[in-house]
Amino acid sequence: MTLLLVIYACRKSTVASWDVDVVIPVVNGQLNIKNFFGDSIFKTDNTGLLNLAVTRTITAIKMDSLVKLPDTTIVKYFNNPGLEYSLLPGEFVPSVLLQPSDLTFSVSNGAEIEYVYIRSGKLKVTYSNGLTQPLKLSYIVPNANKNGQIFSIQDSIPPGTNSLVKEYDMSGYSFNLMTGALYNTIKQTYSLQNVGTSSVNIPFGAGVKAEISYSKIIPEYVEGYFGKHDIDIAADTSRLDIIKSFGATNFQLSDASLVFKILNEFGCEFTGNLFNIKSINGSSVVALNTTQLSNLNINSATKAGQLIYPSVRTTSLLSGNSNIVPFLSNLPDKLTYQGNIKVNPLGNLSGYNDFAFYNTGIKVLADINIPMRFKADQFKLMSNTKIDFANVTQLDNVNYGEFVISALNGYPFSAKLQAYLLDENGTVIDSLFVNGSNVLSRGNLDNQNVVVSSSSTTLRIPLDEKKIESLKKSDQIRLETYFIMPPNPPDIKIYENYKIDIGIVAELNYRAKRK
Protein backbone atom coordinates (compact mmCIF):
# COMPACT_ATOMS: atom_id res chain seq x y z
CA MET A 1 0.00 0.00 0.00
CA THR A 2 1.49 3.32 -1.06
CA LEU A 3 0.15 6.75 -0.07
CA LEU A 4 1.23 10.09 -1.51
CA LEU A 5 0.91 13.20 0.66
CA VAL A 6 0.61 16.06 -1.83
CA ILE A 7 2.99 18.98 -1.20
CA TYR A 8 2.54 22.14 -3.20
CA ALA A 9 4.28 25.56 -3.16
CA CYS A 10 2.65 28.96 -3.53
CA ARG A 11 3.26 32.56 -2.66
CA LYS A 12 2.05 33.85 0.69
CA SER A 13 -1.24 35.73 0.73
CA THR A 14 -3.91 36.74 3.16
CA VAL A 15 -6.68 34.50 1.78
CA ALA A 16 -6.64 32.58 -1.47
CA SER A 17 -8.36 29.55 -2.96
CA TRP A 18 -8.04 27.69 -6.23
CA ASP A 19 -8.85 24.33 -7.80
CA VAL A 20 -6.05 21.77 -7.83
CA ASP A 21 -5.84 18.43 -9.59
CA VAL A 22 -3.87 15.78 -7.69
CA VAL A 23 -3.20 12.08 -8.00
CA ILE A 24 -2.99 9.92 -4.84
CA PRO A 25 -1.70 6.36 -5.32
CA VAL A 26 -3.87 3.88 -3.39
CA VAL A 27 -2.62 0.43 -4.38
CA ASN A 28 0.36 -0.53 -6.49
CA GLY A 29 1.42 -4.13 -6.58
CA GLN A 30 1.16 -7.59 -7.99
CA LEU A 31 -1.54 -10.18 -7.37
CA ASN A 32 -0.26 -13.74 -7.56
CA ILE A 33 -1.95 -16.82 -6.19
CA LYS A 34 1.01 -17.23 -3.82
CA ASN A 35 0.04 -13.95 -2.10
CA PHE A 36 -3.24 -15.42 -0.88
CA PHE A 37 -2.19 -18.62 0.84
CA GLY A 38 -0.64 -17.50 4.13
CA ASP A 39 2.43 -19.54 4.99
CA SER A 40 1.75 -22.24 2.40
CA ILE A 41 4.69 -23.32 0.30
CA PHE A 42 4.51 -23.73 -3.45
CA LYS A 43 6.74 -25.75 -5.67
CA THR A 44 6.78 -25.90 -9.44
CA ASP A 45 6.81 -28.98 -11.65
CA ASN A 46 8.78 -29.22 -14.91
CA THR A 47 5.90 -27.63 -16.86
CA GLY A 48 5.75 -24.58 -14.59
CA LEU A 49 2.49 -25.74 -12.96
CA LEU A 50 2.24 -24.66 -9.33
CA ASN A 51 1.82 -27.32 -6.65
CA LEU A 52 0.66 -26.45 -3.15
CA ALA A 53 2.99 -28.48 -0.90
CA VAL A 54 2.62 -28.17 2.88
CA THR A 55 3.37 -30.24 5.96
CA ARG A 56 1.23 -30.14 9.08
CA THR A 57 1.71 -31.89 12.42
CA ILE A 58 -1.46 -33.84 13.14
CA THR A 59 -0.66 -35.25 16.57
CA ALA A 60 2.28 -36.06 18.85
CA ILE A 61 2.79 -38.51 21.70
CA LYS A 62 5.36 -37.56 24.34
CA MET A 63 7.38 -39.52 26.89
CA ASP A 64 4.87 -39.17 29.71
CA SER A 65 2.29 -41.12 27.67
CA LEU A 66 4.76 -43.97 27.42
CA VAL A 67 6.41 -44.19 30.84
CA LYS A 68 6.64 -42.01 33.96
CA LEU A 69 7.66 -42.30 37.58
CA PRO A 70 4.63 -41.62 39.79
CA ASP A 71 4.77 -39.64 43.01
CA THR A 72 5.91 -42.15 45.64
CA THR A 73 6.01 -41.89 49.43
CA ILE A 74 7.53 -44.26 51.97
CA VAL A 75 7.03 -43.86 55.72
CA LYS A 76 10.01 -45.18 57.68
CA TYR A 77 9.92 -45.78 61.46
CA PHE A 78 13.16 -46.09 63.43
CA ASN A 79 11.67 -47.32 66.74
CA ASN A 80 13.02 -49.40 69.61
CA PRO A 81 11.44 -52.86 69.21
CA GLY A 82 12.67 -54.22 72.55
CA LEU A 83 13.78 -53.26 76.06
CA GLU A 84 14.50 -49.64 76.97
CA TYR A 85 18.12 -48.62 76.56
CA SER A 86 20.20 -45.45 76.80
CA LEU A 87 21.99 -43.72 73.90
CA LEU A 88 25.08 -41.71 74.88
CA PRO A 89 26.01 -38.37 73.25
CA GLY A 90 27.64 -39.08 69.86
CA GLU A 91 26.51 -42.72 69.93
CA PHE A 92 24.74 -44.29 66.89
CA VAL A 93 21.53 -46.28 67.04
CA PRO A 94 22.45 -49.93 66.43
CA SER A 95 22.14 -50.69 62.69
CA VAL A 96 20.06 -53.77 63.47
CA LEU A 97 17.28 -51.44 64.60
CA LEU A 98 17.32 -49.36 61.39
CA GLN A 99 16.14 -52.16 59.09
CA PRO A 100 17.19 -50.71 55.68
CA SER A 101 14.56 -51.17 52.95
CA ASP A 102 14.28 -50.55 49.23
CA LEU A 103 11.86 -48.12 47.59
CA THR A 104 9.97 -49.35 44.52
CA PHE A 105 8.20 -46.97 42.15
CA SER A 106 4.83 -48.28 41.03
CA VAL A 107 5.38 -47.74 37.30
CA SER A 108 2.30 -48.47 35.21
CA ASN A 109 1.78 -50.68 32.15
CA GLY A 110 4.23 -53.34 33.26
CA ALA A 111 7.25 -51.17 32.52
CA GLU A 112 10.54 -52.30 34.05
CA ILE A 113 12.94 -49.38 34.26
CA GLU A 114 16.65 -49.88 34.72
CA TYR A 115 17.94 -46.33 34.45
CA VAL A 116 16.54 -42.81 34.67
CA TYR A 117 18.22 -39.42 34.45
CA ILE A 118 16.08 -36.80 36.20
CA ARG A 119 15.38 -33.49 34.51
CA SER A 120 13.47 -32.12 37.48
CA GLY A 121 11.89 -33.46 40.64
CA LYS A 122 11.66 -33.07 44.39
CA LEU A 123 12.47 -35.17 47.45
CA LYS A 124 10.59 -34.07 50.56
CA VAL A 125 11.33 -35.47 54.01
CA THR A 126 9.12 -34.84 57.05
CA TYR A 127 10.74 -35.86 60.38
CA SER A 128 9.25 -36.54 63.79
CA ASN A 129 11.56 -37.18 66.76
CA GLY A 130 9.91 -38.88 69.76
CA LEU A 131 13.03 -38.57 71.97
CA THR A 132 14.23 -35.76 74.24
CA GLN A 133 17.52 -35.11 72.44
CA PRO A 134 18.21 -34.07 68.80
CA LEU A 135 19.18 -36.90 66.46
CA LYS A 136 21.21 -36.75 63.25
CA LEU A 137 19.79 -38.79 60.38
CA SER A 138 21.98 -39.78 57.44
CA TYR A 139 19.92 -40.88 54.43
CA ILE A 140 21.87 -42.30 51.47
CA VAL A 141 20.74 -43.58 48.07
CA PRO A 142 23.85 -45.40 46.83
CA ASN A 143 22.54 -45.96 43.28
CA ALA A 144 21.76 -42.26 42.72
CA ASN A 145 24.53 -39.86 41.79
CA LYS A 146 25.18 -36.46 40.30
CA ASN A 147 28.56 -35.58 38.85
CA GLY A 148 29.98 -38.69 40.49
CA GLN A 149 28.63 -37.81 43.96
CA ILE A 150 26.22 -40.25 45.64
CA PHE A 151 22.99 -38.69 46.87
CA SER A 152 22.95 -38.26 50.65
CA ILE A 153 21.37 -35.95 53.20
CA GLN A 154 22.48 -35.23 56.76
CA ASP A 155 19.84 -33.61 58.97
CA SER A 156 19.66 -32.83 62.69
CA ILE A 157 16.14 -33.54 63.90
CA PRO A 158 14.97 -31.66 66.99
CA PRO A 159 12.50 -33.34 69.36
CA GLY A 160 8.81 -33.08 68.44
CA THR A 161 6.19 -34.15 65.91
CA ASN A 162 6.93 -32.96 62.36
CA SER A 163 9.82 -31.08 63.90
CA LEU A 164 11.75 -30.80 60.64
CA VAL A 165 10.45 -30.59 57.07
CA LYS A 166 12.98 -30.27 54.24
CA GLU A 167 12.84 -30.44 50.43
CA TYR A 168 15.68 -31.35 48.10
CA ASP A 169 16.11 -30.72 44.39
CA MET A 170 16.71 -33.95 42.48
CA SER A 171 17.46 -32.29 39.12
CA GLY A 172 20.47 -33.76 37.36
CA TYR A 173 20.59 -36.99 39.38
CA SER A 174 20.84 -40.31 37.60
CA PHE A 175 19.22 -43.37 39.20
CA ASN A 176 20.08 -46.99 38.63
CA LEU A 177 16.68 -48.58 39.23
CA MET A 178 17.93 -52.14 38.92
CA THR A 179 18.39 -53.43 42.48
CA GLY A 180 19.25 -57.11 42.52
CA ALA A 181 16.51 -58.76 40.44
CA LEU A 182 14.09 -55.87 41.02
CA TYR A 183 13.30 -53.13 38.50
CA ASN A 184 11.92 -49.63 39.26
CA THR A 185 13.67 -49.89 42.65
CA ILE A 186 16.26 -47.86 44.58
CA LYS A 187 18.29 -48.97 47.58
CA GLN A 188 18.26 -46.79 50.72
CA THR A 189 20.52 -46.78 53.77
CA TYR A 190 20.18 -44.89 57.06
CA SER A 191 22.08 -44.04 60.22
CA LEU A 192 20.91 -42.28 63.44
CA GLN A 193 23.19 -40.55 65.93
CA ASN A 194 22.55 -38.80 69.25
CA VAL A 195 23.87 -35.26 68.69
CA GLY A 196 22.50 -33.92 71.98
CA THR A 197 24.57 -32.92 75.01
CA SER A 198 23.35 -35.73 77.23
CA SER A 199 22.28 -39.33 77.11
CA VAL A 200 18.75 -40.13 76.04
CA ASN A 201 16.59 -43.06 77.12
CA ILE A 202 14.79 -44.90 74.31
CA PRO A 203 11.79 -46.80 75.71
CA PHE A 204 10.03 -49.55 73.84
CA GLY A 205 8.29 -48.20 70.67
CA ALA A 206 9.97 -44.78 70.82
CA GLY A 207 12.21 -43.36 68.10
CA VAL A 208 12.10 -41.41 64.85
CA LYS A 209 9.58 -41.28 61.99
CA ALA A 210 10.67 -40.15 58.51
CA GLU A 211 8.15 -39.65 55.69
CA ILE A 212 10.13 -39.65 52.43
CA SER A 213 8.32 -38.47 49.28
CA TYR A 214 9.56 -38.36 45.67
CA SER A 215 7.31 -36.06 43.62
CA LYS A 216 6.98 -34.27 40.27
CA ILE A 217 9.74 -36.34 38.71
CA ILE A 218 10.24 -35.53 35.04
CA PRO A 219 12.84 -37.74 33.37
CA GLU A 220 15.39 -36.39 30.93
CA TYR A 221 16.13 -39.93 29.80
CA VAL A 222 14.64 -43.35 30.59
CA GLU A 223 15.92 -46.80 29.70
CA GLY A 224 14.58 -50.32 30.30
CA TYR A 225 11.53 -52.21 29.07
CA PHE A 226 8.46 -50.01 28.56
CA GLY A 227 5.93 -52.83 28.79
CA LYS A 228 3.35 -54.15 26.37
CA HIS A 229 0.27 -51.94 26.34
CA ASP A 230 -2.04 -49.70 24.30
CA ILE A 231 -2.11 -45.92 24.00
CA ASP A 232 -5.36 -44.42 22.74
CA ILE A 233 -5.27 -41.34 20.54
CA ALA A 234 -8.52 -39.69 21.57
CA ALA A 235 -10.74 -37.96 19.01
CA ASP A 236 -9.17 -34.60 18.31
CA THR A 237 -9.00 -31.81 15.75
CA SER A 238 -5.95 -30.40 13.99
CA ARG A 239 -6.04 -27.09 12.13
CA LEU A 240 -4.68 -27.11 8.59
CA ASP A 241 -5.07 -23.43 7.59
CA ILE A 242 -3.62 -24.00 4.14
CA ILE A 243 -6.30 -22.32 2.03
CA LYS A 244 -7.41 -19.44 4.20
CA SER A 245 -8.03 -16.83 1.45
CA PHE A 246 -9.43 -18.99 -1.31
CA GLY A 247 -13.08 -19.65 -2.11
CA ALA A 248 -14.73 -21.60 -4.92
CA THR A 249 -18.06 -23.02 -6.09
CA ASN A 250 -18.32 -26.65 -7.27
CA PHE A 251 -14.60 -27.02 -6.67
CA GLN A 252 -13.01 -30.29 -7.73
CA LEU A 253 -9.29 -31.04 -7.83
CA SER A 254 -7.91 -33.03 -10.73
CA ASP A 255 -5.36 -34.73 -8.51
CA ALA A 256 -3.99 -34.61 -4.97
CA SER A 257 -1.99 -36.72 -2.55
CA LEU A 258 -1.53 -36.90 1.19
CA VAL A 259 1.38 -38.74 2.79
CA PHE A 260 1.02 -39.62 6.45
CA LYS A 261 4.49 -39.71 7.95
CA ILE A 262 4.97 -41.28 11.38
CA LEU A 263 8.28 -40.36 13.05
CA ASN A 264 9.22 -42.56 16.00
CA GLU A 265 11.87 -41.05 18.29
CA PHE A 266 11.36 -43.72 20.97
CA GLY A 267 13.62 -46.73 21.24
CA CYS A 268 10.82 -49.30 21.13
CA GLU A 269 8.51 -50.95 18.60
CA PHE A 270 4.90 -49.97 17.86
CA THR A 271 1.94 -50.83 15.71
CA GLY A 272 -0.56 -48.08 14.98
CA ASN A 273 -3.97 -47.35 13.53
CA LEU A 274 -5.48 -44.06 12.39
CA PHE A 275 -9.21 -43.88 11.72
CA ASN A 276 -12.29 -41.65 11.72
CA ILE A 277 -10.37 -39.03 9.71
CA LYS A 278 -12.53 -36.24 8.29
CA SER A 279 -11.89 -33.02 6.40
CA ILE A 280 -13.99 -30.12 7.67
CA ASN A 281 -14.78 -26.84 5.93
CA GLY A 282 -17.49 -25.10 7.91
CA SER A 283 -20.52 -27.40 7.72
CA SER A 284 -19.06 -29.45 4.86
CA VAL A 285 -17.54 -32.73 6.08
CA VAL A 286 -15.89 -35.45 3.97
CA ALA A 287 -14.77 -38.70 5.62
CA LEU A 288 -11.54 -40.32 4.44
CA ASN A 289 -12.05 -43.78 2.96
CA THR A 290 -8.92 -45.94 2.91
CA THR A 291 -7.46 -49.15 4.32
CA GLN A 292 -3.90 -47.82 4.21
CA LEU A 293 -3.80 -46.56 7.80
CA SER A 294 -4.51 -49.84 9.64
CA ASN A 295 -1.95 -52.07 11.40
CA LEU A 296 1.03 -49.90 10.62
CA ASN A 297 4.31 -51.41 11.90
CA ILE A 298 6.57 -48.72 13.32
CA ASN A 299 10.18 -49.65 13.95
CA SER A 300 12.27 -48.55 16.91
CA ALA A 301 14.46 -45.46 16.74
CA THR A 302 18.20 -45.88 17.24
CA LYS A 303 20.72 -43.65 18.97
CA ALA A 304 24.39 -42.87 19.21
CA GLY A 305 25.02 -41.23 22.57
CA GLN A 306 22.36 -38.52 22.81
CA LEU A 307 21.89 -38.31 19.02
CA ILE A 308 18.57 -39.88 17.99
CA TYR A 309 17.91 -41.45 14.60
CA PRO A 310 14.11 -41.65 14.28
CA SER A 311 12.44 -44.40 12.33
CA VAL A 312 10.03 -43.14 9.69
CA ARG A 313 6.94 -44.93 8.42
CA THR A 314 5.25 -43.33 5.41
CA THR A 315 1.86 -44.17 3.94
CA SER A 316 0.81 -42.49 0.70
CA LEU A 317 -2.85 -41.81 0.03
CA LEU A 318 -3.45 -41.46 -3.70
CA SER A 319 -6.51 -41.46 -5.92
CA GLY A 320 -6.04 -45.21 -6.51
CA ASN A 321 -6.15 -46.27 -2.83
CA SER A 322 -8.41 -43.65 -1.24
CA ASN A 323 -10.86 -40.83 -1.86
CA ILE A 324 -8.11 -38.29 -1.19
CA VAL A 325 -9.10 -36.07 -4.16
CA PRO A 326 -12.65 -35.29 -2.94
CA PHE A 327 -11.29 -35.30 0.64
CA LEU A 328 -8.97 -32.37 -0.17
CA SER A 329 -11.36 -30.81 -2.70
CA ASN A 330 -13.43 -29.97 0.39
CA LEU A 331 -10.77 -27.29 1.03
CA PRO A 332 -10.56 -28.28 4.70
CA ASP A 333 -9.43 -25.83 7.34
CA LYS A 334 -9.59 -28.59 9.98
CA LEU A 335 -8.98 -32.30 10.14
CA THR A 336 -10.41 -34.64 12.79
CA TYR A 337 -8.94 -38.02 13.67
CA GLN A 338 -8.70 -40.88 16.15
CA GLY A 339 -6.20 -43.68 16.60
CA ASN A 340 -4.38 -46.10 18.85
CA ILE A 341 -0.85 -47.36 19.27
CA LYS A 342 0.32 -50.68 20.68
CA VAL A 343 3.65 -50.44 22.55
CA ASN A 344 6.04 -53.39 22.11
CA PRO A 345 3.39 -55.61 20.46
CA LEU A 346 5.85 -58.53 20.32
CA GLY A 347 7.19 -58.05 23.85
CA ASN A 348 10.66 -57.23 25.11
CA LEU A 349 12.56 -57.44 21.80
CA SER A 350 15.16 -54.88 22.89
CA GLY A 351 16.31 -56.82 25.97
CA TYR A 352 15.65 -53.91 28.36
CA ASN A 353 17.13 -51.37 25.92
CA ASP A 354 13.96 -49.39 25.19
CA PHE A 355 14.76 -45.69 25.56
CA ALA A 356 13.09 -42.30 25.55
CA PHE A 357 14.43 -38.75 25.80
CA TYR A 358 12.60 -35.74 27.20
CA ASN A 359 10.50 -33.80 24.66
CA THR A 360 10.73 -36.55 22.04
CA GLY A 361 8.04 -38.95 20.97
CA ILE A 362 5.93 -40.11 18.08
CA LYS A 363 4.85 -37.45 15.61
CA VAL A 364 2.22 -37.91 12.94
CA LEU A 365 2.76 -35.51 10.04
CA ALA A 366 0.63 -34.91 6.96
CA ASP A 367 2.48 -33.99 3.76
CA ILE A 368 -0.16 -32.50 1.45
CA ASN A 369 0.50 -31.98 -2.27
CA ILE A 370 -2.12 -30.30 -4.46
CA PRO A 371 -1.34 -29.56 -8.13
CA MET A 372 -3.00 -26.25 -9.04
CA ARG A 373 -5.20 -27.92 -11.63
CA PHE A 374 -8.91 -28.06 -10.87
CA LYS A 375 -12.47 -27.47 -12.01
CA ALA A 376 -14.80 -24.83 -10.57
CA ASP A 377 -17.77 -22.70 -11.58
CA GLN A 378 -15.96 -19.74 -10.08
CA PHE A 379 -13.22 -19.06 -7.58
CA LYS A 380 -11.92 -16.03 -5.79
CA LEU A 381 -8.85 -14.86 -3.92
CA MET A 382 -8.89 -12.45 -0.99
CA SER A 383 -6.29 -10.37 0.82
CA ASN A 384 -6.27 -7.51 3.34
CA THR A 385 -3.93 -4.51 3.26
CA LYS A 386 -3.48 -1.81 5.92
CA ILE A 387 -4.18 1.81 4.86
CA ASP A 388 -4.31 5.21 6.55
CA PHE A 389 -6.10 8.16 4.97
CA ALA A 390 -6.82 9.88 8.29
CA ASN A 391 -4.02 12.44 7.84
CA VAL A 392 -4.64 13.22 4.16
CA THR A 393 -6.30 16.58 4.90
CA GLN A 394 -6.80 17.42 1.20
CA LEU A 395 -9.72 14.94 1.15
CA ASP A 396 -11.78 17.45 3.17
CA ASN A 397 -12.00 19.84 0.20
CA VAL A 398 -12.49 17.46 -2.72
CA ASN A 399 -14.82 18.72 -5.45
CA TYR A 400 -14.94 15.50 -7.44
CA GLY A 401 -12.72 12.61 -8.44
CA GLU A 402 -12.46 9.01 -9.53
CA PHE A 403 -10.46 5.85 -9.02
CA VAL A 404 -8.39 4.79 -12.02
CA ILE A 405 -7.44 1.12 -12.19
CA SER A 406 -4.65 0.08 -14.54
CA ALA A 407 -4.23 -3.68 -14.73
CA LEU A 408 -2.31 -6.29 -16.70
CA ASN A 409 -4.12 -9.62 -16.37
CA GLY A 410 -1.88 -12.64 -16.93
CA TYR A 411 -4.53 -15.25 -15.98
CA PRO A 412 -6.46 -17.28 -18.57
CA PHE A 413 -9.84 -15.94 -17.46
CA SER A 414 -11.48 -12.61 -16.84
CA ALA A 415 -11.28 -11.19 -13.36
CA LYS A 416 -13.75 -9.04 -11.45
CA LEU A 417 -12.21 -6.78 -8.82
CA GLN A 418 -13.88 -5.54 -5.67
CA ALA A 419 -12.34 -3.67 -2.78
CA TYR A 420 -14.01 -3.32 0.61
CA LEU A 421 -13.09 -0.61 3.09
CA LEU A 422 -12.85 -1.98 6.64
CA ASP A 423 -12.70 -0.17 9.95
CA GLU A 424 -10.27 -1.04 12.75
CA ASN A 425 -12.58 -3.87 13.87
CA GLY A 426 -12.61 -5.47 10.43
CA THR A 427 -16.21 -4.38 9.73
CA VAL A 428 -17.03 -3.45 6.13
CA ILE A 429 -17.73 0.29 5.78
CA ASP A 430 -18.13 0.58 2.03
CA SER A 431 -17.10 -0.93 -1.30
CA LEU A 432 -15.03 0.99 -3.84
CA PHE A 433 -15.89 -0.40 -7.25
CA VAL A 434 -19.17 -0.38 -9.15
CA ASN A 435 -20.37 -3.77 -10.38
CA GLY A 436 -20.23 -3.95 -14.17
CA SER A 437 -17.35 -1.48 -14.34
CA ASN A 438 -14.72 -3.58 -12.57
CA VAL A 439 -13.93 -6.45 -14.94
CA LEU A 440 -10.44 -7.17 -16.28
CA SER A 441 -10.09 -8.93 -19.62
CA ARG A 442 -8.40 -12.32 -19.57
CA GLY A 443 -4.87 -12.85 -20.81
CA ASN A 444 -4.16 -13.82 -24.40
CA LEU A 445 -4.24 -17.62 -24.84
CA ASP A 446 -2.75 -20.21 -27.15
CA ASN A 447 -4.70 -23.24 -28.36
CA GLN A 448 -3.85 -25.08 -25.10
CA ASN A 449 -5.53 -22.34 -23.02
CA VAL A 450 -2.12 -21.21 -21.73
CA VAL A 451 -1.50 -17.47 -21.38
CA VAL A 452 1.09 -16.17 -23.85
CA SER A 453 0.74 -12.48 -22.95
CA SER A 454 -1.14 -10.29 -20.49
CA SER A 455 -4.08 -8.11 -21.48
CA SER A 456 -4.28 -4.46 -20.44
CA THR A 457 -7.42 -2.92 -18.94
CA THR A 458 -8.11 0.57 -17.58
CA LEU A 459 -11.17 1.11 -15.40
CA ARG A 460 -12.55 4.40 -14.04
CA ILE A 461 -14.73 4.40 -10.93
CA PRO A 462 -16.44 7.65 -9.76
CA LEU A 463 -15.43 8.81 -6.27
CA ASP A 464 -18.30 10.57 -4.45
CA GLU A 465 -18.50 12.31 -1.08
CA LYS A 466 -19.73 9.19 0.70
CA LYS A 467 -16.74 7.14 -0.45
CA ILE A 468 -14.36 9.92 0.55
CA GLU A 469 -15.77 9.86 4.09
CA SER A 470 -15.45 6.08 4.12
CA LEU A 471 -11.81 6.32 3.02
CA LYS A 472 -10.99 8.60 5.95
CA LYS A 473 -12.56 6.14 8.41
CA SER A 474 -11.00 3.00 6.97
CA ASP A 475 -8.16 1.01 8.52
CA GLN A 476 -7.62 -1.55 5.77
CA ILE A 477 -8.74 -2.63 2.31
CA ARG A 478 -9.93 -6.16 1.53
CA LEU A 479 -9.22 -6.86 -2.11
CA GLU A 480 -11.27 -9.66 -3.65
CA THR A 481 -10.52 -11.03 -7.10
CA TYR A 482 -13.27 -13.13 -8.68
CA PHE A 483 -12.17 -15.20 -11.66
CA ILE A 484 -14.99 -15.65 -14.17
CA MET A 485 -15.19 -19.09 -15.77
CA PRO A 486 -16.62 -19.76 -19.23
CA PRO A 487 -19.43 -22.37 -19.51
CA ASN A 488 -18.12 -25.94 -19.05
CA PRO A 489 -14.53 -24.79 -18.57
CA PRO A 490 -11.57 -27.12 -19.08
CA ASP A 491 -9.30 -27.90 -16.13
CA ILE A 492 -8.04 -24.66 -14.61
CA LYS A 493 -4.25 -24.63 -14.51
CA ILE A 494 -2.31 -22.13 -12.43
CA TYR A 495 1.26 -21.64 -13.58
CA GLU A 496 4.03 -19.95 -11.64
CA ASN A 497 4.21 -16.94 -13.99
CA TYR A 498 0.48 -16.13 -13.81
CA LYS A 499 -0.15 -12.78 -12.13
CA ILE A 500 -2.09 -9.53 -12.24
CA ASP A 501 -0.11 -6.29 -12.11
CA ILE A 502 -2.43 -3.67 -10.71
CA GLY A 503 -2.27 0.01 -9.88
CA ILE A 504 -5.09 1.99 -8.31
CA VAL A 505 -4.87 5.78 -8.06
CA ALA A 506 -7.35 8.42 -6.93
CA GLU A 507 -7.52 11.39 -9.33
CA LEU A 508 -9.00 14.27 -7.36
CA ASN A 509 -10.01 17.88 -7.98
CA TYR A 510 -10.28 19.87 -4.80
CA ARG A 511 -10.54 23.45 -3.54
CA ALA A 512 -7.22 24.47 -2.00
CA LYS A 513 -7.14 27.34 0.52
CA ARG A 514 -4.34 29.28 2.11
CA LYS A 515 -4.41 32.08 4.66
Write 420-425 long-range contacts (CB < 8 A, 24+): 420/477, 420/478, 420/480, 421/470, 421/471, 421/473, 421/474, 421/477, 422/384, 422/474, 422/475, 422/476, 422/477, 422/478, 423/473, 423/474, 423/475, 424/475
Q: What is the mean pLDDT of residues 317-337?
A: 93
Query: Is 207 in the same domain as 272?
Result: no
Query: Is 197 in the same domain as 283?
Result: no
Most confident segment among 99-103, 352-356, 480-484? 352-356
- The identity of residue 409, as a single letter, is N
- Cα–Cα distance measured from residue 314 to residue 274, given in angstroms and rounded to the nearest whole number: 13
- Cα–Cα distance measured from residue 428 to residue 17, given in angstroms and rounded to the nearest whole number: 35
What per-residue confidence (pLDDT) applies to 243? 67
Lowest average pLDDT, out of 51-55, 111-115, 333-337, 376-380, goes to 376-380
The residue among 311, 339, 371 that closes a domain is 371
Q: What is the mean pLDDT of residues 500-514?
A: 75
Query: Is 348 in the same domain as 330?
Result: yes
Note whether residue 122 is domain-resident: yes
Q: How confident is the model at residue 448 (pLDDT cuts 50, 70, 90)?
A: confident
Query: Is 337 in the same domain as 311?
Result: yes
Q: What is the mean pLDDT of residues 410-424?
A: 87
Query: Is 353 in the same domain as 393?
Result: no
Query: Is 410 in the same domain as 439?
Result: yes
Query: Is 150 in the same domain as 217?
Result: yes
Number of domains in the chain: 3
Note whether residue 9 is domain-resident: no
Most confident segment among 31-35, 139-143, 181-185, 313-317? 313-317
**Containing structural domain, residue 115:** 69-225
Q: How confident is the model at residue 12 (pLDDT cuts 50, 70, 90)?
A: very low
Note whether residue 267 is domain-resident: yes
Query: Is 104 in the same domain as 143?
Result: yes
Query: Is 188 in the same domain as 253?
Result: no
In sequence order, what are the beta bridge partners of 165?
A: 126
- Check whether 23 has a pLDDT greater than 80: no
Q: What is the mean pLDDT of residues 323-328?
A: 94
Query: Is 134 in the same domain as 231?
Result: no
Note whether residue 8 is domain-resident: no
Q: Select the more confidently predicted residue: 309 or 333.
A: 309
Q: How confident is the model at residue 388 (pLDDT cuts 50, 70, 90)?
A: low
- Cα–Cα distance measured from residue 293 to residue 273, given in angstroms and rounded to the nearest whole number: 6
- Check whether 471 has a pLDDT greater than 90: no
pTM: 0.76
Q: How confident is the model at residue 346 (pLDDT cuts 50, 70, 90)?
A: very high
Query: Is 414 in the same domain as 362?
Result: no
Burial annotation 269-292 (CB, 10 A radius, 16+ → b, else e): bbbbebeebbbbbeeeebebebee
Query: What does pLDDT average to over the chain?
Result: 85
- Check whether 314 has a pLDDT greater than 90: yes
For the chain, percent of residues with pLDDT exceeding 70: 89
